[in-house]
Structure 1
Amino acid sequence: MAGKVTIQDIANMCQVSKSSVSRYLNGGYVSEENKEKIKDAIEKTGFSENFFAKRLKTKKTCLIGIVIPRIDSVSVGKLLNGISDVFDANNYTSLIQISNLDSKKEVQCIQSLYQQGVDGIIVDSCGITKKHIEMAGQLDIPLLFTGQKNEYVNYKVIDDYAAGAIMGKYFRNFKHRNVVFLGVSESDESVGIYRKQGFIDAFGDAGTVRFVETDFSFLAAYRKGAEVMKSKPTAVICATDNIALGLMRYFNEQQIKVPQDVSLAGFGGYDISSVMYPRLTTISFDYTLLGQKTALSLLRLINGEEINLQDEIPLKLIERDSVQMAVNEIE
């Protein structure tokens, strides 16, 4: 093969992914079949000499570790798309591990990626603990958190408090007085505390906000339907669009009409929210842009540069069919 051999060239020769070649080079898991293919291709091209010589010279592997909380998430998918855009353009390969919304496993994932020789790690965190802070200070590579923020670590986040405040003001203006906020545990500070508190503060003394706790899953929200309706709210605000979709299923089964019987809104701006019936009022977050800014910031940290923690990610209220003026005001 003429010219400089790259990881992509080896991957193409072996019909495997770039990440498989990177894992092989760094001692990570690769199937026996692919291991033999990659080994053979490296020997034929002399790539290993070029790769390890570069690694020794630059002390960089061009590998990035990414820890995500779950794989079946619209927001995580868009975040990864944005991250991938930047790293692909800069010839970095990503190694991804999944924490399954477990903060202890999240720490284990960080340690595992560090041992594989990555140049830096992005953590889409479900909660920053003392152990996370300790690791950020002890590891000799940069860690950059997203999804959560903490004054002792580097982070890139959406302004959840501001998003909640936009929605609180919106429902206040629509004259709702008895509402339910269907949200998640405060162990998730961004969604469980800041987003909820932003709503409560902006809604102010307009009426009563009752909190019902669920998790991020569609099914859990569906199962909370009866509890949500105990207080006979005129509106329900869900911490995510996915939670709103789960509650909508309950409403449909119970023949509760949206927005005639109860108004409904969410956060996230997922594509499915625009095609459900009725279409869901929501606040749209640009997760792809967040991913791009996060990746660019990590590259700056790898190069020893400072980053701006205050980058703004646009928030957009999308008014659709699922909210109406409170019935008592119409009458």
Structure 2
Amino acid sequence: MATIKDVAKYSGLSIATISKYINGGNVLEENRQVIQDAIDKLGYKRNEMARGLKTNKTMTIGILIPSLENIFFTTIISIIEDTLLEKGYGMIVCDYKEDTELELKKLEFLINKNVDGIIMVSYSGNHEYIKGLIDKKIPVILLDRMVRNLDCDVVLADNLNASYQAVEELITRKHKRIGIVCGPENTYTADERRKGYIRVHQDYHLEVDEALIYNGDYSVESGYKALKDLLNIEEPPTAIFVTNYEMTIGTIMAINDLSVQMPNDLSLIGFDNIQLAKIVKPSLSIVEQPMKDIGKIAAETILRRLNDDYDDFPAVYRLKTKVHIKDSVTILQ
């Protein structure tokens, strides 16, 4: 098996230069090509176990999310992996099924695996445990949900304005009774989207009817039930905004089962997945989150922290969303 000394001898460059290149450092462009040619020719592979013993690093990042069935989180994980792989890092991915006790157990599992850092979505908001990790110089990047009373790097969508803009699109089309299907009351993301819904009503001097606010649990089943329950209230909504992908699927299933005609009977704005928006007929209006940017920024931020770059700590990246209005929304007369 080829060693770093063999690569140095073959390329005519120093071991220090070879090592710098292998570990993601900056080297002259002409040297990069020479080194890579030598690596390819000799079949050199870095011994991560030996490197870990020397540097006390495992070159792995722990990923902790609420559910592996959630397309939003799995898409972001895929983007994160692409960026980390470029720098020689692998991942250990765990989910905790929206269970606060399981979240802590899985977090401890990742720490016991000696991961170099954590990228996570926190459901419990256990700021003391996370703060303990940060104090030990274990980088933690929060995704999607902030944790109150905690100085920590966060990458998320601008959830309040995402909701505001979606509901505003309905209001400007003369809808006054607008339902919203939110997530659990105790989650930061759901709370922000609920705030956006309330704020836009206030700005347009519309009364907020609590009967039109439905708290689901981010599952397909809760989206299905939400649609049925909202349409069964005494004065049902003319439009509904659904605030995550899985619940959007559930509402569409209920619309089909109940033979509700979009947009004549009900206007609908869903969340995420442009592909779904194109498949559904009539074409579905959606709020699109910048999943690629979220994943890339999260990965780049943890890599900077692993290189002891804390100049901007704690960094909060609140990224803009886009509202795509399609045929599922109508203008009331």
Question: If the TM-score is normalised by the length of the shorter chain, which range does it land in?
Answer: 0.7 to 0.9
* Paired residues of 2:48 and 2:59 also in contact (CA < 8 A): no
Among 263, 271, 274, the alignment partner of 2:275 is: 271
Q: Spell out the pairing of 1:250-329 with structure 2 (5 A cutoff).
A: 250-306=254-310, 307=312, 309-326=315-332
Question: Aligned partners of 2:228, 2:94: CA distance in 1, in Å?
Answer: 36
Q: Which amino acid aligns with 2:194?
A: K
Q: Does structure 1 residue 236 correspond to structure 2 residue 235?
A: no
* Paired residues of 1:74 and 1:270 also in contact (CA < 8 A): no
Question: Aligned partners of 1:163, 1:224: CA distance in 2, in Å?
Answer: 20
Among 78, 81, 87, the alignment partner of 1:81 is: 78
Question: Aligned partners of 1:322, 1:132: CA distance in 2, in Å?
Answer: 44
Q: Spell out the pairing of 1:160-199 with structure 2 (5 A cutoff).
A: 160-190=159-189, 192-199=190-197
Q: 64-73 or 143-152: which moved more?
A: 143-152
Shift in Å at residue 131 of structure 1?
4.2
Q: Which amino acid aligns with 2:192?
A: Y
Change (3 A) 1:219 1:4: farther
Shift in Å at residue 59 of structure 1?
2.1
Task: Name the residue aligned to 1:129.
Answer: 126
Change (3 A) 1:207 1:304: same
Q: The residue matched to 2:264 in structure 1 has which SS?
A: coil
Change (3 A) 1:127 1:320: farther
Task: Name the residue aligned to 1:206.
Answer: 206
TM-score, normalising length: structure 2: 0.79
Q: Which amino acid aligns with 2:170?
A: F
* Paired residues of 1:97 and 1:109 also in contact (CA < 8 A): yes
Shift in Å at residue 117 of structure 1?
1.1
Runs of 4+ in 1 over 6 A off after TM superposition: none
Q: The residue matched to 1:100 in structure 2 has which SS?
A: coil
Task: Name the residue aligned to 1:56.
Answer: 53
Task: Name the residue aligned to 1:25.
Answer: none
* Paired residues of 1:65 and 1:120 also in contact (CA < 8 A): yes
Question: Aligned partners of 1:121, 1:241: CA distance in 2, in Å?
Answer: 25
* Paired residues of 1:258 and 1:264 also in contact (CA < 8 A): yes
* Paired residues of 2:65 and 2:73 also in contact (CA < 8 A): yes
Task: Name the residue aligned to 2:13.
Answer: none
Question: Aligned partners of 1:111, 1:242: CA distance in 2, in Å?
Answer: 28
Identity of aligned residues (%): 22
Change (3 A) 1:52 1:77: closer
Q: Which amino acid aligns with 1:159?
A: D
Write out per-residue CA displacement over residues 128-155 of structure 1, whole angstroms, 9 at most, x where no aligned residue. 2244444334544111111211351222
Task: Name the residue aligned to 1:149.
Answer: 146
Task: Name the residue aligned to 1:38.
Answer: none
* Paired residues of 2:164 and 2:200 also in contact (CA < 8 A): yes
Q: The residue matched to 1:311 in structure 2 has which SS?
A: strand
Question: Aligned partners of 2:213, 2:138: CA distance in 1, in Å?
Answer: 40
Task: Name the residue aligned to 1:28.
Answer: none
Q: The residue matched to 1:176 in structure 2 has which SS?
A: coil
Write out per-residue CA displacement over residues 198-250 of structure 1, whole angstroms, 9 at most, x where no aligned residue. 12211322344421122111122112333111132111111123312211221
Change (3 A) 1:282 1:132: farther
Shift in Å at residue 126 of structure 1?
2.6
Give the gaps of 5 or more residues in structure 2. 6-42
Question: Aligned partners of 2:133, 2:153: CA distance in 1, in Å?
Answer: 9
Question: Aligned partners of 2:162, 2:242: CA distance in 1, in Å?
Answer: 12
Task: Name the residue aligned to 1:13.
Answer: none
Among 61, 66, 71, the alignment partner of 2:68 is: 71
Among 84, 99, 107, the alignment partner of 1:102 is: 99
Task: Name the residue aligned to 2:221.
Answer: 219
Shift in Å at residue 314 of structure 1?
3.5
Q: Which amino acid aligns with 1:245?
A: I
Write out per-residue CA displacement over residues 83-142 of structure 1, whole angstroms, 9 at most, x where no aligned residue. 011101000011111111122212211211111111111112234224444433454411
TM-score, normalising length: structure 1: 0.79
Question: Aligned partners of 1:279, 1:266: CA distance in 2, in Å?
Answer: 11
* Paired residues of 2:134 and 2:140 also in contact (CA < 8 A): no
Question: Aligned partners of 1:222, 1:53: CA distance in 2, in Å?
Answer: 52
* Paired residues of 2:84 and 2:299 also in contact (CA < 8 A): yes
Question: Aligned partners of 1:131, 1:103: CA distance in 2, in Å?
Answer: 14
Q: How many residues align?
A: 286
